[in-house]
Amino acid sequence: MKCNFSRLAGDNVGIRWLACLLGTALSCSSPERIDRTTTDRTDPPAVRTALPVERIAIVGASVSAGFGGAPFGEAFTAAAKRSSVETFADLFLFRDPIGESRTQIDKAIAFKATTIVGLDLLFWAVYRSTDRTWRDQALASAFGDLERARATGAWIVIGDVPHVVTASELLIAKQSVPDAATLAGYNETIAAWARDRERVLLVPFASWAEPLAAGGEIEIAPGERVPAQTLVSPDGLHVNLLGAWALLDRLDKWIELRLPGTPKDALVFVRPR
């Protein structure tokens, strides 16, 4: 089962139009127990748990929606042909992170998803406002919505929140970016929520994205390292075609490591040429 990212390149006119629209909008306004950590590990868990991929729902914000050119819904559909895939990710989640996240989870539940993937679902719960009370409320609301989905038996594949310092101010005002210590606190809150819950796989999105903030490199294939900035769009926020593949390929490997009962061919993302 393959997802060919080259097919997703297409015409970027629509993306440029959406970028303009997004900038305008922002100027007017984030049952087995397995061990879960926020860092890559080489020791797989003892229980060979399998991720149920019969019905996959994609939720989240603009990265998942494909703002950089690779919608995750299309990528997962092509990569998991034995699965039924629906995407509810929305480019405009930033406008109302609490209400839109609830709407997306409601749709995923109605779809009867066996797995819900939300790599950037929690991003705007941290970046939309600098008010601590609002951020706490937004995260608590998202956790409550994810609990409702988990109660149906669905697995939750959720990312923590990266430190983004490269984004254009048209997308994220500098004052909206939490400092490293504050962000670490929120990510610990996310990790604590995920740690003691069955059917939750926490993805260390923050650590994967660290080289971008540091101006470093990312290994996208064994022995192949590229500057992290080459994996994002000119806006400094959204992954481009190669970046989307690198992210989803790493997610696939993370699932295989943490849930080794999952068939190796459940998800196969083909690198763009």
70-80 pLDDT, tens digit per residue, is: 899 999 999 99
- The Cα–Cα gap between 244 and 249 comes to 8
Share of the chain above pLDDT 70, in %: 83
Arithmetic mean of pLDDT, 227-248 = 96
pLDDT tops 60 at residue 62: yes
Q: When comparing pLDDT for 69 and 90, which is higher?
A: 90
Per-residue confidence (pLDDT) for residue 29, from 0 to 100: 38
Task: Decide if 155 is inside a domain.
Answer: yes
pLDDT tops 50 at residue 14: no
Q: Report pTM.
A: 0.84
Domain that holds residue 110: 50-210
Burial class (CB in 10 A: 0-12, 13-18, 19+), 121: buried
Our count of domains for the chain comes to: 1
User: For the segment 252-268, what is each residue's pLDDT rounded down to a tens digit?
Assistant: 999 999 999 999 999 99
Per-residue confidence (pLDDT) for residue 35, from 0 to 100: 39
Share of the chain above pLDDT 90, in %: 79
Task: Decide if 123 is inside a domain.
Answer: yes
Task: Decide if 159 is inside a domain.
Answer: yes
Task: Decide if 191 is inside a domain.
Answer: yes
Average pLDDT, the chain: 87
Per-residue confidence (pLDDT) for residue 268, from 0 to 100: 96
The sign of the CA dihedral 91, 98, 153, 119 is: positive
Q: Residue 138: give its domain's CATH number.
A: 3.40.50.1110
Q: How confident is the model at residue 69 (pLDDT cuts 50, 70, 90)?
A: confident
DSSP letters, 11-72, are --HHHHHHHHHHHHHHHT---------SS--SS--SS------SEEEE--SHHHHTTTS--H
User: For the segment 15-52, what is each residue's pLDDT rounded down to a tens digit?
Assistant: 333 443 344 333 333 333 333 434 444 444 445 899 99
User: For the segment 118-141, what is each residue's pLDDT rounded down to a tens digit?
Assistant: 999 999 999 999 999 999 999 999
Longest dimension (CA), the chain: 50
- The Cα–Cα gap between 266 and 273 comes to 22
The β-bridge partners of 266 are: none
Position 189, amino acid: T
Task: Decide if 270 is inside a domain.
Answer: no
Q: When comparing pLDDT for 174 and 110, which is higher?
A: 110
The gap from C-alpha 123 to its chain's centroid, in whole angstroms, comes to 9
Task: Decide if 249 is inside a domain.
Answer: no
Task: Decide if 93 is inside a domain.
Answer: yes
Per-residue confidence (pLDDT) for residue 4, from 0 to 100: 57
Task: Decide if 21 is inside a domain.
Answer: no
Q: How confident is the model at residue 100 (pLDDT cuts 50, 70, 90)?
A: very high
